[in-house]
Amino acid sequence: QVQLQESGPGLVKPSQTLSLTCTVSGGSISSGGYYWSWIRQHPGKGLEWIGYIYYSGSTYYNPSLKSRVTISVDTSKNQFSLKLSSVTAADTAVYYCAGRGPGLGGGGDYWGQGTLVTVSS
C-alpha cells in the first residue's frame, strides 16, 4: 500500500520560500501513470489544488499560484517536493501531498496526513 508523509518547516517568514517534501513508501515514485500532487487547506476553509507532477516529469500548476510554485521529483529518494516563493500570511495553511494512479481513473488515491505551515515573522 502506498503511503505518503510530508516534512518541512512549520514556520516560514514572509517573503521567504516555503519548501516541503513528500516521501513515498510502499511503491516507486517513478511508477508509470502516477500523478503526484500538492493540495492546501487554509484554516477553516476548503481544499485548494496547487499542482501536480506526472511520473514523466511534466507539471501542471494552479494558474492562481503558477508564478510562485515549483514541484519537482527526486527519484533517488522516492520523494517529491513543493517550493512556494514570496510567501505571505495568506499562504498559511495545512499542506497535503497526494498521489493518484496509475492513470486518472481506477481509484488509486493516496494522501499524506498534512502539515501545518504558518507564515509569520
Partner 1 sequence: EIVLTQSPATLSLSPGERATLSCGASHSVSSSYLAWYQQKPGLAPRLLIYDASSRATGVPDRFSGSGSGTGFTLTISRLEPEDCAVYYCQQYGSSPWTFGQGTKVEIK
61 binds partner 1 (CB under 8 A): yes
11 binds partner 1 (CB under 8 A): no
Q: Are the CB atoms for 92 and 75 separated by under 8 Å? A: no
Q: Are the CB atoms for 24 and 3 separated by under 8 Å? A: yes
Q: How many CB atoms lie within 10 A of CB 77?
A: 12
Candidates 15-23, 24-32, 59-67, 78-86: pick the segment binding partner 1 (CB under 8 A): 59-67
Reported in sequence order, the residue ranges of 1-121 that DSSP labels E, i.e. its strands, are: 3-7, 11-12, 18-25, 35-41, 47-54, 59-61, 69-74, 79-84, 93-100, 109-111, 115-119
Instruction: State how far the Cα of 38 lies from the Cα of 61, in Å rounded to an integer.
Output: 10
Candidates 10-18, 20-28, 79-87, 100-108: pick the segment binding partner 1 (CB under 8 A): 100-108
99 binds partner 1 (CB under 8 A): no
51 binds partner 1 (CB under 8 A): yes
Candidates 14-22, 26-34, 43-51, 77-85: pick the segment binding partner 1 (CB under 8 A): 43-51
Total number of residues that touch partner 1 (CB under 8 A):
22
- Residue of 10, 43, 67, 105 that binds partner 1 (CB under 8 A): 105
- Picking from 42, 53, 35, 54, the residue whose alpha carbon sits closest to that of residue 95 is 42
Please report, as ranges, the residues that interact with partner 1 according to CB under 8 A: 37, 46-49, 51-52, 60-63, 96, 100, 104-107, 109, 111-114
